[in-house]
Homo-oligomer: A and B are copies of this chain.
């Protein structure tokens, strides 16, 4: 491989050949949603992501991207996999689809990507495109379009990781608004686990963990019996997480 444009690359503020991709998930109308970007002048979508600055921790870069795309700070963000294959995707195809947007030399190199997932409150996000894209929107994670790069695969791996980490991570805490009902929490767990749960057993188990506080209010407006509102007792929640005692089947 001949050296090329080396001065330019090394002068760049970014680490070459290392990127990250963020699977930003939320929960809305009983569905898991993922935040996607549409590239300028195309109908092509991809995950948010990008390169890492030379003087920036990888975790910090993930937080920066999360902040830029959602407006949110201090959010649960978890690295879940490194995508380090040489031929992660068809680079020629990307070069063709995005040729009007990017420097072909810059994007033609093999890159390793660190995958992160973030769990955010749908109602608090302001989806914001980046310099290369013109639309940022939530997609039902079950019905994403064919994405650029290997991003469908990355989403798949993220969801697997989320399922196995469900017991050790503060998952409800970040995906739901501050106040929520038990049926809402149950539907979140069902969406992540991909199976239905018995509401009576779910309720008993959740409450027995001692991490929920029932409020005086109920959620009004539904067609039927109005459910109680709850919020997480933050200290107890984090205690349980440390103990690894939120295992859920």
Contact = CB atoms under 8 A, between A and B. Distances in A.
A131 interface: no
Majority SS at the chain A contact face: mixed
A58 interface: yes
A1 B114 contact: no
A10 B18 contact: no
Interface stretch (A76-84, A120-128, A170-178, A221-229): A76-84
A67 interface: no
Between A11, A18, A61, A85, the greatest number of chain B beta carbons within 10 A of the residue's beta carbon is seen for A18
B10 A4 contact: yes
A110 B16 CA distance: 12
A244 interface: yes
A55 interface: yes
A57 interface: yes
Given A17-B15, A18-B17, A81-B79, A86 B6 contact: no
Interface in A31-80: 52, 54-59, 61, 79
A18 B110 contact: no
Contacts of A168: 164
A119 to B, nearest CB: 18
Given A10-B6, A18-B17, A54-B1, A82 B84 contact: no
A82 B85 contact: no
Given A6-B7, A6-B9, A85 B57 contact: yes
A108 interface: no
A194 to B, nearest CB: 13
Nearest to A247: B247
A52 B114 CA distance: 15
Given A3-B11, A6-B9, A56-B86, 11 more contacts: A3-B10, A4-B10, A6-B7, A16-B16, A18-B18, A52-B84, A57-B85, A58-B85, A59-B84, A84-B114, A164-B168
